[in-house]
């Protein structure tokens, strides 16, 4: 039986954000017709992951719809799984990855990026240093793709803050600042990115086909790792 894919998003108070994540789930389904795909949330929105997991029969792979590691990946998610579906296989979070870089570059181009723009990668932020490192790695990939510097900046925890980064870039000769939105859907954090006074802010990653392809890539990786772990010969025990 092919394992079902359960998407675990953070959750949002934005109806537009929920619609965007629902559209992303539809894009994921279209990529592999006939495969069961369920969208769930860790908090705020419904259905909650804790409700979806017990309702899905057979094997399950959970892919966190999170762009970086941090509290939700390392604390929230394992707690829900331990209580409701300890047999589930958990995939890695989404970023950084070249498929996200492609989506970001396309969104920036669509928004009207100029060759003279200074670029910020605007992310939610985290109190977890490894999550911030994930975002900085994503900024590096985008810098390579765009062949210009890209500064990672954070809307909540993390340095530099959006305001600090804007101030710094404002003192350079760049004509204007372009913000690449490193968020999946509209909502609180995208509103923050849109309000910093940049010359251009790209749309959220949303239901992009590259994001959908990355979700299936994480699903396949998790299954492959799981099967490899199960089939590896166990070391002989010595009396």
CATH classification (class only), 4-94+207-231 = alpha beta
CATH 3.40.50.1400 residue spans of the chain:
4-94+207-231, 98-201
According to the model, what pLDDT value does residue 238 have?
A: 43
- Can you state the angle between helices 209-231 and 98-111, rounded to 10 degrees? 170
pLDDT tens by residue, 54-87: 999 999 999 999 999 876 676 789 999 999 999 9
Low-confidence ranges of the chain (pLDDT < 50): 233-239
- Does domain 98-201 fall into CATH 3.40.50.1400? yes
Global pTM? 0.92
Distance between CA atoms of 15 and 3, rounded to whole angstroms? 30
34 burial via Cβ count (<10 Å: 0-12, 13-18, 19+): exposed
**pLDDT reported for residue 236:** 47
pLDDT tens figures, 146-163: 999 999 999 998 999 999
């Amino acid at each position: 039986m092919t394992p079902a894919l359960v998407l675990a998003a953070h959750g949002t108070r934005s109806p537009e954000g929920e619609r965007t994540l629902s559209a992303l789930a539809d894009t994921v389904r279209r990529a592999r017709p006939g495969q069961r795909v369920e969208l769930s949330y860790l908090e705020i929105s419904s259905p909650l992951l804790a409700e979806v997991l017990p309702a899905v029969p057979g094997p399950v792979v959970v892919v966190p719809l999170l762009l970086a590691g941090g509290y939700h990946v390392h604390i929230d998610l394992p707690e829900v799984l331990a209580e409701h579906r300890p047999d589930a296989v958990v995939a890695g979070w989404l970023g950084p990855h070249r498929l996200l870089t492609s989506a970001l570059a396309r969104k920036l181009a669509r928004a009207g990026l100029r060759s003279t723009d200074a670029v910020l990668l605007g992310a939610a932020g985290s109190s977890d240093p490894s999550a911030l490192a994930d975002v900085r790695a994503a900024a590096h990939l985008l810098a390579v793709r765009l062949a210009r510097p890209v500064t990672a900046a954070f809307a909540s925890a993390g340095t530099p803050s959006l305001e600090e980064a804007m101030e710094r870039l404002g003192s350079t000769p760049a004509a204007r600042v372009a913000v690449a939105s490193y968020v999946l859907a509209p909502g609180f954090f995208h509103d923050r990115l849109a309000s910093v006074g940049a010359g251009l802010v790209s749309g959220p990653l949303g239901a992009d086909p590259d994001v959908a392809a990355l979700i299936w890539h994480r699903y396949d990786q998790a299954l492959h790792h799981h099967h490899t772990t199960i089939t590896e010969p166990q070391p002989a025990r010595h009396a």
